[in-house]
Chain A
Amino acid sequence: GAVVSQHPSWVICKSGTSVKIECRSLDFQATTMFWYRQFPKQSLMLMATSNEGSKATYEQGVEKDKFLINHASLTLSTLTVTSAHPEDSSFYICSAVTGGGLGNQPQHFGDGTRLSIL
């Protein structure tokens, strides 16, 4: 149980393109999902907390107009990197919690999306 699917797994695109990443909870409902970014050999960096039916909560320093998050259903959250540039190239990972969204439950991660902007 607690499977999180993330798509696509790899994206290569030109500078200026907008890229959408999907995160789905396959066998449970996730009122809360999280989006992380990870650069090579660095730790996870939380970008934002995605709440179903409401606006996402962004971490300090993360541009909400650059990284658009939509959590329209209990099983789907999307992250759109708008007008992506080479410095946005990174490994993006989503996660979700079971247990009705209680934050003290473990997070279950998607497989991640490797984004390369040329």
Chain B
Amino acid sequence: QKEVEQNSGPLSVPEGAIASLNCTYSDRGSQSFFWYRQYSGKSPELIMSIYSNGDKEDGRFTAQLNKASQYVSLLIRDSQPSDSATYLCAVPIRAGGFKTIFGAGTRLFVKA
């Protein structure tokens, strides 16, 4: 089992819809969870951090965390074509010190 799993997609949604991106992780001890956005040919940029169970909202983005189910998701409301990118889920795990495991990413296409 991979340590951080994401559906590779592509996920295609129409403009204005809600895009839902999912991620599961294997380390029950993980306490921090991050979502990054990566445009084609560019480096990843941090868009959300979440540390506690429940929802965390930031503008059109909502991160949801359920530690019991080892599940973290990212919702993008009112999706825009500019949201088209690959979204990476990242989870630090204890491996000696900490090591961040990145999921393979979900490619999102928002159709105008």
Contact = CB atoms under 8 A, between A and B. Distances in A.
Range for the number of chain B residues in contact with chain A = 20 to 34
Interface in B53-112: 88, 90, 92, 97-100, 102-105
A107 B49 CA distance: 11
Nearest to B47: A106
A102 B49 CA distance: 15
B25 interface: no
Interface string A13-48: 000000000000000000000100000000110100
B43 A111 contact: yes
Interface in A55-94: 91, 93
B58 to A, nearest CB: 13
A102 B98 contact: yes
B7 interface: no
B28 interface: no
In the complex, which of the residues A44, A46, A49, A112 has the most CB atoms of chain B within 10 Å of its own CB atom? A44
A104 B32 contact: yes
Given A43-B102, A44-B88, A103 B97 contact: yes
Range for the number of chain A residues in contact with chain B = 20 to 34
A106 B46 contact: yes
A108 interface: yes
B45 A106 contact: no
Contacts of A108: 46
Interface of B: 31-32, 34, 36, 41-46, 49, 88, 90, 92, 97-100, 102-105
8 contacts: A44-B102, A46-B99, A103-B99, A104-B92, A104-B98, A106-B32, A106-B34, A107-B90
Given A43-B102, A93-B44, 10 more contacts: A34-B100, A43-B104, A46-B99, A93-B43, A106-B46, A106-B90, A107-B100, A108-B46, A111-B43, A112-B42
- The list of the 8 closest CB pairs from A to B, nearest first, reads A103-B98, A112-B43, A43-B104, A109-B43, A104-B32, A104-B92, A93-B43, A106-B34
Interface of A: 6, 34, 43-44, 46, 49, 91, 93, 102-112, 114
